[in-house]
Structure 1
Amino acid sequence: MSESTERVQTADRLWQEFRQEPFPDSLRRATFGGTHVWLLELDIAGCVLRWLDSSGTLDSKNSILLQSRIEDLDRVILEINDLVGAQYCQRLHQLAALVSRNLPSTK
């Protein structure tokens, strides 16, 4: 099995696990530096689904969006005081980082 195929399968498994988790109540109205956590999740989820539907590829627009949202999530995670919320965001970050690996650089 190729590394690419294995990565898609791993991401799909992580996505299925992530979807089973309820969005933490502590994050429903949470904003950090003007960033709404629910919007980060929505954008990242959209990119992950596009990536999975395209067998591990993402167009440049969504690649840029994903990289930007990962950077936002990096900042947000540092500010979350709730353990459940922080763990939820860390799992989202793990999934986003897996998908973004080997995408074209946006810088």
Structure 2
Amino acid sequence: MNSTSGNDELESAVSHLWQEHLQTPFPAGLRGAEREGIDLVLLDADTAGCVSAWLSGGGSLDDWRRRVLHRRITDFDRILPMLGATDDAPYWQRLYRLSCLVARADPRPAE
């Protein structure tokens, strides 16, 4: 393996989870729903936008998207423990995992 194998493995993991995410519909009944004051459609859209940008940008995010991603990770930390049986927790856990993997790839702090 070459010296970028860690990055290659990370990008592969993100790509795999991303494809899984793209094949999964948004949870039924959650359009317009909020948990802990967080709009779930916006949480999904913001996170997905950052992951997509990271993948298409060669594994990096601009400063604005990095800040958005870190804010959304904080939002996930708040809502994941509160999800109920009808909230499709695996959907949100996968999106959270994606956001954490992308954030780990760029260790710069969110400003």
Give ranges in structure 2 of 5+ residues lacking alignment. none
Aligned-residue sequence identity (percent) comes to: 39
Q: Distance in 2 between matches of 1:50 and 1:96?
A: 12
Stretches of 4+ moved more than 6 A in 1? none
Q: Which amino acid aligns with 1:48?
A: V
- Residue 94 (structure 2) aligned to one of 71, 91, 96: 91
1:58 to partner: Cα distance: 0.8
1:15 correspondence with 2:18: yes
When normalised by structure 1's length, the TM-score is: 0.90
Query: Aligned-pair RMSD on alpha carbons?
Result: 1.5
- Residue 44 (structure 2) aligned to one of 20, 41, 46: 41
Q: Distance in 2 between matches of 1:14 and 1:47?
A: 14
1:69 correspondence with 2:72: yes
Q: Distance in 1 between matches of 2:10 and 2:105?
A: 11
When normalised by structure 2's length, the TM-score is: 0.87
1:21 to partner: Cα distance: 0.8
Greater helix content: 1
Deviations, residues 45-75 of structure 1 (Å, cap 9, x unaligned): 0000110011111111111100100110111
Aligned residue pairs total: 107
CA contact 1:51–1:58 (8 Å) conserved in 2: yes
